[in-house]
Structure 1
Amino acid sequence: MDPNPNDVANLNQEAAFQKLREWGYPITRRTIKYAFDRREMKPVRLGNGNYVSVNDLLAWIESRRQDGHYRAPESAAAQA
């Protein structure tokens, strides 16, 4: 029985960044690097590399969802 391709941990940091950009997410390489470093994404460690699956990326994106309404505070210049 073959595993689900989306469960295979075969994306390193650069590949994860490219996949998210391909999906249209406005993300930076630094955001992905910090997510790996802080273990927000739980990578599989193989050799000297960290790898995540497509499902790991989707779970990480979902974990970033914020409840409620978001409204940036008005700047002092806008209030004057």
Structure 2
Amino acid sequence: MSHGFEGEGKNQVLAEALGISEEDAEQYVTIDTNESDDGLIYGYIAIFDDSTPQAVLDAAGVGRDRSVDLGPNVFDEEE
């Protein structure tokens, strides 16, 4: 199944949503989905690598679990 977070521009969208640089988004963040058994996406989860500098975690508002919940429309293209 194709999700909206694939392809070019993903890191730019992530950077804007998280308040970090595109380079930091590319280097430290992976995306997972919160979805139903039938594939309905409830939202996206930005998961930060253990090697992420504290300044980046602070800028993104990351909690103890090293993740940030993103809305279901974060990767939607504007019309």
Tell me the TM-score normalised to structure 1 length. Answer: 0.30
By relative contact order (CA 8 Å, sep 6+), the higher-ranking structure is 1
Compare the two structures and name the one with the higher strand fraction: 2
Compare the two structures and name the one with the higher helix fraction: 1
**Larger Rg belongs to:** 1
Tell me the TM-score normalised to structure 2 length. Answer: 0.30
